[in-house]
Amino acid sequence: MDSPSITSQPTGTILLVDDDPVNLDILARLLRPYYEVLAAPSGERALEVVAGPAKPDLILLDVLMPGMNGYGVLARLREDPATRDIPVIFVTGLDSTADEERGLELGAVDYITKPYRASIILARVHTQLELRRARQWLANQVVYLEAEVARRTQDIQLAQDITIRALAELAETRDSETGNHIRRTQEYMHILAKRLQSHPRFSAFLTDKVVELLTKSAPLHDIGKVGIPDQILLKPGKLTAEEWRIMKTHCLLGADAIERAVHEANHSVDFLDMAQQIAHYHHEKWDGSGYPEGRQADAIPVPARLMALADAFDAIVSLRSYKRPVPAEKAKELIARERGHQFDPDMVDAFLASYPDFVAAAQRYNQQHDV
């Protein structure tokens, strides 16, 4: 045999599999100065070794063995997720091209024929171990990068949620009587959307992702009220015609503010697109009698139709400077009466089916409610 030329310290564990003790001894004496070496005299014993807690980094596998031959061992290794990535070099007396091609097609990484040449064996073993280390390093890098992307995405989502909440609460602080209005309407939106996911009219649109976006964007529905003068927004009595005209502009004020933010970012953001639809159209009515554009039926975006009902329920059961809170059962009757008039009929049906959940949400964020 040629004398070895590699002088590095042991850098891996190699499993030798051969039914010939002489061949095992030759390979073991060649490799032990440089690697940790395990030996198995049969295919069956080799599978027992790799099933243990300490997996080899590389397997040198004889092809022709009684019982389970090398091809059978390799097939079993590739079937098991715990062993399928261990590189296997076939070491055999078969030297035909067909034999070599078969071994490589089955998943062997290399093919060494007898008689052994030390320099060839050491070089190929070294190469395969280096490739394995490189693959493991890349796999670890991928795992690290995926974790880092997930962490940063979570940070971005958290920042978005905090920003949305801050903006929405800024609008809400203009009217102290609204209490947890944004939390309640957000919850109502989620309840309605989940209920309608199985409805044939809405199932294609209301995916889990869209429901998540709806819930995220709902708090911005009244952001335009920041632009309404206090003497109108906080007026305890009935608004005059001119005051009501100004109050209704909050829809366009909110939609325009969101649109400008998206435009300046020069990038479409899904939840902001949805928030703009909600802010703009959540006071439209199914029969076309709403504002600001008098849209009718399906011409009103689905997110805005959902918010219209959620917002109305909360307004009815809440204390306002101009009204006492209405009991939830009465609110249920009022909304049912507006089926096909103010609200999408199917959404009213979903509300009625989910009414106990609405009451529970109202009680969870209770503030001066009669529920």
Q: What integer pLDDT is reported at residue 369 of this predicted model?
A: 46
- Model confidence at 156, in pLDDT bands (50, 70, 90)? low
- Average confidence score pLDDT of the chain: 86
Residue 1 has pLDDT above 70, yes or no: no
pLDDT tens for 246-266 read 999 999 998 998 888 777 766
CATH superfamily of this structure's domain 13-142: Response regulator (3.40.50.2300)
Q: Name the pairing type of β-strands 36-40 and 13-17.
A: parallel
**Residue 216 neighbours by CB distance under 10 Å:** 20
Residue 153 has pLDDT above 90, yes or no: no
pLDDT tens for 131-147 read 988 888 888 888 888 88
Q: What integer pLDDT is reported at residue 172 of this predicted model?
A: 63
Residue 166 has pLDDT above 70, yes or no: no
Both tokens assigned to 155: 């940070």
More confident residue, 267 or 273: 273
Contact present, 94 and 64 (Cβ < 8 Å):
yes
pLDDT tens for 91-131 read 887 666 676 677 778 788 888 887 888 998 999 999 999 99
Question: What one-character-per-residue DSSP string does 275-309 give?
Answer: HHHHHHHTT--TTS--SSS---GGGS-HHHHHHHH
For the chain, percent of residues with pLDDT exceeding 90:
51
Residue 16 has pLDDT above 60, yes or no: yes
Q: What integer pLDDT is reported at residue 6 of this predicted model?
A: 45
- Model confidence at 175, in pLDDT bands (50, 70, 90)? low
Q: Model pTM?
A: 0.59
- Model confidence at 271, in pLDDT bands (50, 70, 90)? confident
Residue 182 has pLDDT above 70, yes or no: yes
More confident residue, 230 or 47: 47
- Model confidence at 7, in pLDDT bands (50, 70, 90)? very low
pLDDT tens for 212-248 read 999 988 888 888 888 888 888 878 788 899 999 999 9
Q: What integer pLDDT is reported at residue 276 of this predicted model?
A: 92
Q: What integer pLDDT is reported at residue 174 of this predicted model?
A: 59
Q: What integer pLDDT is reported at residue 322 of this predicted model?
A: 66
The closest alpha carbon to 282, from 203, 220, 324, 216, belongs to: 220
In one letter, which amino acid is 305? R
Q: Any idea where the domains of the chain sit in the sequence?
A: 13-142, 175-364
pLDDT tens for 281-314 read 999 999 999 999 999 999 999 999 999 999 999 9
Calculate ∠ Cα 215-309-320, nearest 5°: 100
The closest alpha carbon to 128, from 183, 179, 87, 75, belongs to: 87
Residue 207 has pLDDT above 70, yes or no: yes
Q: Does domain 175-364 have CATH number 1.10.3720.10?
A: no
Q: What integer pLDDT is reported at residue 345 of this predicted model?
A: 97
For the chain, percent of residues with pLDDT exceeding 70:
85
List, in sequence order, the alpha helices (H) in the chain: 21-31, 43-50, 70-79, 97-105, 118-172, 181-196, 208-217, 230-233, 241-247, 250-265, 270-281, 302-317, 328-337, 345-353, 355-364
